[in-house]
Amino acid sequence: MINRDMDIFSNQYATEIIWKSFLPFIKATEGEIVKVGVVLPIPQFEDFVVAQLCTETLTNITRYPKSMIEINDSGYYVVGDIHGNIIDLLRIVSKIYQESEDNIPKIIFLGDYVDRGHFSLEVVLLIFALYNKYPNTVVMLRGNHEFGRS
C-alpha cells in the first residue's frame, strides 16, 4: 500500500513505483511471462499514482519535445501496434532489456498502444514509465488510436 502522505509531486515518483512494479516481469523468463494475468497478478495502482505518472509524462514530453528524431546509433528496436496486449509488450521489453549491455533500452514505439487488448491501461503505464525513465532512448510516436476523436 502506498502512503498517500508521501511527496507524490517529487520528480519521477510515480514512474519509479510503476517501473519497479513491472521490473520483475521484465526480468522474467518467457515461461513466467505467459503466466502474467493468469497465475501472476498484473500490478494495479491507485488512481493518484496513475494521475501522477501522466503528469510526469506530460512534463517530460514538453521538456524533451521530439517533432523529429535522428537516430545515429545502432541497436534501436522499433515496436508497433501493441493494441493493449500486455503479454506481448512484456515479452518485447524483456528481450530488449535483457539484451542491452547497460540495461538501457533503445526503443521507438510506433503508436497504437491501446484498443483491442484487455490491458490498454497497463500497456500505457509501462510505456510511459519507460519513456520517463529513459527519455533520451525511448521514443513514443502517435498511432491512429492515440488521436482524440473530433
Positions marked active-site: 145
Contacts of 43 (CB under 8 A, 6+ apart): 18, 21, 22, 122
Contact 25, 90 (CB under 8 A): yes
Contact 84, 116 (CB under 8 A): yes
Question: Could you tell me which residues are beta bridge partners of residue 140?
Answer: 109
Nearest to 79 by CA among 122, 110, 123: 110
Amino acid identity, position 109: F
C-alpha cell at 24: 520483475
d(CA 25, CA 32): 8
